[in-house]
Amino acid sequence: MPNVQVPDFDVTALRGVSLDSRRVSPGWLYVALPGARTHGARFAAEALAGGAIAILTDAEGATLAGHLGVPILVDDDPRAAMARIAAAVYGQPARRMAMYGVTGTAGKTSTVALVAAGLTAAGQCVGTIGTLGFRLDGRDIGAPTTTVTTPESPDLQAMLATMADGGATCVAMEVSSHALILNRVDGIRFDVAAFTNLGRDHLDFHEDMEHYYRAKASLFDAERSGCAVVNIDDPWGRRLATELTARGATLVTTSVDGAADYRASRWTTLPDGTTSVDMVTPSGRMGLRVGLLGAFGVRNALMAAAIIDQTQFDLADAAPGFAHIVIPGRMQRVALDGPAPHVVVDFAHTPDEVTAALAALPGPRRLAVVGCGGDRDRGKREPMGEAAALGADVVIVTDDNPRSEDPAAIRAAVLVGARRAAERTGAQVIDGGERRAAIRTALELAGPQDWVAVLGKGDERTQQLAGQIVPFVDAQVVDEQWQAVRADAGE
């Protein structure tokens, strides 16, 4: 615990923890962190008005809030201290459940969803935490959060306590690199931690790919996890597996078609869009039916199976849960009326993810609607366009979330990469303009046997542009634009 300036303060008397002064309730600890523009200690008076009975901060914050007359807990690393205190305040909920953490650039959401589906089929009450929300036994628990993928530690610990009190026997959660760097999962030791892959992303936050990798790899430190499950189809995964083996960690590996503990000896995409997999495990062979397309679905299903198999739960009981899974915004099929193209919506927003999403489509002709977000890593824009033109016959470049940037300028960078690759592949490259128009263009160009991938936003409910947040759901817009196409054709 941190050094306490007021010796008689009892941390166990706290009823909650918040780093947002507006969300403090009576009996809570307010955590005042240094920020990019100002210090959280400047809002301490507001927190005290809300009922805070103590403040956790650094030396600068103690100076700013020292006149307020409440106990001040001072720590050189207040984020790490916040995580430890939050775990204690909420009764160490992670110790009451089996904990599974999944990290990596792509596949976290799908793997977590598959683990949850499998454990539910095996009769468990499962909590899930990640970009699709926060759910207990399949129900949204509607917890407030301070971040998209992995909540800040006070929210995370409060959420875990809600799940434990609600009967959860296990929790599967996404663990982002931001969460690991910012101590959000400190105080939790995962029974099983899994690594999906590493591709270019978040280099506006991490200094370079090496720092990004080291952040992800820290989940597998001995104090943070027990067993490791690692995808060795990925070169960074192979490096991680080598490092874990060298230090004697408990490790199992997965691969779609290579030598690994869990691998696919054969897999086939079925006419209904699901995938039949013959899986080899350390215990023998097992057949899987996975409600996801192609190598994308196989790879994540293998990882989910390996995670479950490292627990006390029976994989044979869990495997049927993979069959009918539908993950919003993750290779999600969009059903359209009449003779219509096959359409999937996916969250792919890195070059590697675009490649994987397009490779999963059966063809015969693939069309990609793709863009890049504004105010983020600009270096991946040309590679995104290049990946799209290497994997699709038609590339329609559009807006993702432009945020404060000029949408046309972002598209121009993506188009450079797409047109460069198209010189080799012959792909047709189109500047599709704004997203709704681009989706319509793709639907007009696609035939009934073609596959259209609308990439980048997945299940997001809004679009951010020019300082505004407007409603926009890709799957809904696809259906709306298809109806308009049919109406204009007189159908």
Q: Which two tokens stand for residue 131?
A: 């970009």
Distance CA 69, CA 233 (A): 57
pLDDT tens-digit readout, 95-129: 999 999 999 988 899 999 999 999 999 999 999 99
Tell me the average pLDDT across 440-464. 95
pTM, full prediction? 0.83
Say yes or no to pLDDT of 2 above 60.
no
Residue 147 pLDDT exceeds 50: no
Instruction: Kindly tell me the burial class for residue 66, based on how many C-beta atoms sit within 10 Å of its own C-beta (0-12, 13-18, 19 or more).
Output: middle
Lowest mean pLDDT among 139-148, 168-177, 267-276: 139-148
Domain residue limits, the chain: 3-89, 93-322, 332-488
pLDDT at residue 366 in the model: 97
CATH, domain 332-488, list 1.10.510.10, 3.40.190.10, 3.90.190.20, 1.20.1440.60 = 3.90.190.20
The three state secondary structure string of 121-187 is HCCCCEEEEECCEEEECCEECCCCCCCCCCCCHHHHHHHHHHHHHCCCCEEEEECCHHHHHCCCCCC
**Residue 205 above 80 pLDDT?**
no
> 321 and 122 in contact (C-beta within 8 Å)?
yes
**CA–CA distance, 416 with 398 (Å, rounded to integer):** 13
Is the pLDDT at 153 greater than 80? The verdict is: yes
CA 275, CA 256: separation in Å to the nearest integer? 13
3-class secondary-structure state, position 484: helix
**Tens digit of pLDDT for each residue in 396-445?**
999 999 999 999 999 999 999 999 999 999 999 999 999 999 999 999 99
Please check the confidence at residue 372 and state whether its pLDDT lies above 60: yes
Does the domain at residues 93-322 carry the CATH identifier 3.40.1190.10?
yes
Predicted confidence (pLDDT) at residue 203 exceeds the cutoff of 70: no
Confidence class of residue 289 from pLDDT cuts 50, 70 and 90?
very high
pLDDT of residue 4: 45
Structure confidence at residue 202 (pLDDT): 54
For residue 90, which of 28, 33, 136, 139 has the smallest C-alpha distance? 28
CATH number for region 3-89: 3.40.1390.10
